[in-house]
Chain A
Amino acid sequence: MKKHLSLIATIAIFVLMVAGASLHYKGFFSFGVFLNLLRDNAFLGVAAVGMTFVILSGGIDLSVGGMIGFTSILLGVLITKHHFHPAAAIGLSVAIGTAIGTSMGYVISAFDLPPFLVTLACMFLTRGLALVISPDTIAIDHPWYDAVSSAKTALPLIFLTVLAVGLYIAHARPFGRAVYAIGGNADSAALMGLPVGKTKIKIYAISGLCSSIGGVLLTFYMSSGDPNAGRMLELDAIAAVVIGGTLLSGGVGSLVGTLFGVLILGVIQTAITFQGNINSWWTKIVTGILLFGFILLQKVFQLRKTDS
């Protein structure tokens, strides 16, 4: 029960926000709005799944946004300029994203470097690469692409599938337990004989995979490749994970929480769109306040725990 206290708090806030918005705005409480919520935030959600693994292990990945921009523009160039079939282009760019993530993981574990710095370097690297590939947005015009992006349920389904696979890995596979263990106490995990290095490499590989899938989803959503796509998205992803109840210090948290973290960010945005007459940057302010509230809440939980 205690274990799930902060998850319960997250879900409660989500329910309260939806209830409040539904009472206030006519037509807010509908399947269509909910589906759009998932669709609009699918790319963020998928990136946040990868980020959850990273944060659970006590790390951080700042390269998410750069990776999304890089994947996005790579797809645009491959499909529109080099006439790749979208499936092949997607396969190639996701493979490259995963490879970049794997290399980050290797550098972090082999040289025992702080993930913050390694992924920061990678953030510049990927964003730079994206802008070198093409400084301008490239429209993607392909019947296969149009078909996917016009299907309303495609993006939500991909997001939920990634989430389900993530949940399975986190809770049913020994690898998932190793991620929690490393975040809980890395020294102990090593002494208990867990393959800490290999696990870290896999964690950043997963994050690379997720953020490049996020990049792919964004191209479906925008029907174009954009080297500037996903700017600061890593911070949104971190916010979603933390609001979802995962401790930034690692070891505690869940992907279910991350789902609700993403949904909460989405609801704020949708509600402000419904309001119509206020500046959309208010989304950021509300996110900031919520985030602050959650950090305080977690501190309270921790204090209560050490007291008992």
Chain B
Amino acid sequence: MGGPLIVSSALLEMRGIDKSFPGVKALDSVDFTLRSGEIHALMGENGAGKSTLIKVLTGVFPKDGGSIALEGKLIHPRTPLHAQTLGISTVYQEVNLVPTLSVAENIFLGREPTRFGSIQWRRMKAASEQALAKLDIQINVGRLLSSYSIAIQQMVAIARAVEIEAQVLVLDEPTSSLDKDEVRQLFAVMQKLKSQGLGILFVSHFLDQVFEVSDRITILRNGRLVGERQTSSITRLQLVSMMIGKSEDEVAVMASHNVRDLPTATGEPFLTATGLTKRGSVGPVDLQVRKGEVVGLAGLLGSGRTETAQIIFGVEHPDQGTIHVEGQPVRISNPRKAIRLGFGFLSEDRKMAGIIPNLSIRENIVLALQANRGWLRKISQRQQQELADRYIKALKIATPDADKPISQLSGGNQQKVLLARWLASQPKLLILDEPTRGVDVGAKAEIEGLVYQMCADGMAILFISSELDELLRDSSRLVVMRDRKKVGELSGDRLNSAELMNTIAAGGNER
């Protein structure tokens, strides 16, 4: 390095970047400029080309055309390792570390301090502790990475990237699994790194966070550059309209539906759960979902929301408590039973429990319906095609045809395919666990619109989300959880953010 760093000097210049995949032009002559000492947000809907641009920059994909210059010198990152040695480090959306190694090993993997070729374990541990201390994290670095929460693992990934002494730090959706305090911590670290002259490329779906932390924003749409703006000179509405290519007025009208206006919200109870308890996991929880009603499950990360949903869907088994469906007591011992009762479950973790990457979009869509009918009564090819085409159109899934492997779709579109899978099986109760996590603004509005539509059609919906705004917007009633227990229920006038925050924070004293 050496020499004083001048803020605003161009650190990284990407010019006219082209990248095509079979059938798709992912990047079309995109420019991107990152200056030293700035936090630069890269914005766009899913499929806009953000991930591809980052992967070209970090050497995961070769570019088809264009140039990349770092400090004025042309570079050609061939692999992530090569990019790292050039000074470009990345923290990816999903934690890309090795769970079976210790925290210290994860921070130093590939660049362990050695003496005569042998790893200096003590030095490595001390340096790891130091690197984490910079992020205000104190943990036992000798323990396995998998013994820590996703949030901590994410911080370890950042500590690793920082430790490489990068000039360019790429943070791809770093905040999607962090809670509020952890996000604050991360932003403090980002500011610190920025003041040291690092250029930070930040990708996030949370508009609040982008406005809070970034200095500059580059917007992509459909693989093309829409523009670069200073964060201080652009409004939220302008940004969203640039991202989705609609006028500001249109954006303002979107997502103005309200499920509470629906007459169906007073329907008869579909699901009644009483005193659900699983030792060491969750409980007790009482819960009722009526037909044509969206019940939101609110609470902080780890408050037991997902666990509750899993018990209802038969993934986990309660030690105590009863579940009634349409007045009849039921025992839901596995997800197949739940599906037969007319339940659907859109899970939080698309990769783990949702998509089957090697199957086509069509096959992924008909999966639940086929399972429901039994494998002997096969759905004909033609019916499958019709179903797939119908949902691709209805949910605006961005794909040339239904026979593409689902793994080639962007995250938001994969999520829509999963939603289509459950809709195709026409469930009576749909459990949505973080359906909009990692999904961009446009798709989010569409998914929210769908929830409204399904609810109006008389479906019972259990809706889990970490975003309180979203919950308040989309729920007829809120069940609030804290410390793995139900601590309150909000409806009517009490459905506002002040009441919700109060209940989450104080909890339990009033019902």
List residues of A whose CB falls within 8 A of some B CB. 2-3, 168, 171-174, 177-178, 180-181, 183-185, 187-195, 251-252, 305
Binds A, one of B63-71, B79-87, B372-380: B79-87
Select which of A171, A192, A195, A251 is within 8 A of B100 by beta carbon: A251
Interface pairs (8), CB distance under 8 Å: A178-B109, A180-B105, A188-B97, A190-B79, A193-B79, A193-B83, A194-B81, A195-B81
Residues of A contacting B114 with CB < 8 Å? 174
Q: Which residues of B contact A188 (CB under 8 A)?
A: 96-98
Asked if B100 and A180 sit within 8 Å, CB to CB, the answer is: yes
Within 8 A of A (CB), among B290-336: none
Interface size class of B (residues with CB under 8 A): 20 to 34
Least CB separation from A189: chain B residue: B98
CB distance from A209 to the nearest CB of B (A): 18
B119 touches A192 (CB 8 A): no
B509 part of interface (Cβ distance < 8 Å): no
User: A183: which B residues are within 8 A, CB to CB?
Assistant: 100
Give the CA-CA distance A174 to B83 in the complex, in Å.
20
B267 interfacial by beta-carbon distance below 8 Å: no
User: CB < 8 Å: which of B81, B99, B147 contacts A185?
Assistant: B99
Q: Could you tell me if B109 and A177 are in contact, using CB atoms closer than 8 angstroms?
A: yes
- Interface core residue of A173, A188, A190 (most chain B CB under 10 Å): A188
Q: Once bound together, how far apart are the Cα atoms of A230 and B57, in whole Å?
A: 50
Known: A174-B119, A192-B110. A181 touches B81 (CB 8 A): no
Q: A184 is contacted by which of B84, B90, B99, B110 (Cβ under 8 Å)?
A: B99
- A177 lies within 8 A of B84 (CB): no
B 100-135 contacts with A by CB, 8 A: 100-101, 105, 109-110, 112, 114, 117-119
- Is B101 within 8 A of A192, CB to CB? no
- Which B positions have Cβ atoms within 8 angstroms of A? 60, 79-81, 83-85, 90, 92, 96-101, 105, 109-110, 112, 114, 117-119, 144, 146-147, 160
CA distance A251 to B160 in the complex (A): 20
Contact of B112 among A174, A184, A190 (CB under 8 A): A174
Separation of A188 and B79 alpha carbons in the complex (Å): 13
Contact of A180 among B80, B84, B85, B101 (CB under 8 A): B101
Q: Is A193's CB under 8 angstroms from B80's CB? A: yes
Shortest Cβ-Cβ A-B pairs, 6 listed: A193-B81, A184-B100, A184-B98, A251-B100, A188-B96, A172-B118
Given the interface pairs A173-B118, A177-B119, the reply to whether A194 lies near B99 with Cβ below 8 Å is no
Contacts of B144 in A (CB 8 A): 2-3
Q: Are A181 and B96 in contact (CB under 8 A)?
A: no
Query: Is B92 a contact of A177 with CB atoms below 8 Å?
Result: no
A236 to B168, CA, bound (A): 50
Residues of A contacting B99 in the complex (Cβ-Cβ under 8 angstroms): 184-185
Judging by beta carbons under 8 Å apart, are B119 and A181 in contact? no
A170 to B311, CA, bound (A): 43
Flag if B117 contacts A173 (CB, 8 Å).
yes
Compute how far the CA of A2 lies from the CA of B60 in the bound complex, rounded to whole angstroms: 36
Across the interface, do A185 and B110 meet the contact criterion of CB distance under 8 Å? no
Further pairs besides A2-B144, A190-B79: 9, Cβ < 8 Å? A177-B101, A185-B96, A185-B99, A188-B97, A189-B109, A192-B160, A193-B80, A193-B83, A193-B110
Cβ 8 A contact of A181, one of B98, B146, B147 = B98
What chain B residues lie within 8 Å of A251 (beta carbons)? 98, 100-101
- In the complex, are the beta carbons of B117 and A192 less than 8 A apart? no
B79 touches A177 (CB 8 A): no
* CB neighbours of B101 from chain A (8 A): 177, 180-181, 184, 251
Are the CB atoms of A192 and B97 closer together than 8 Å? yes
Shortest B307–chain A CB gap in Å is 12
Residues of B within 8 A of A192 (CB): 80, 96-98, 109-110, 160
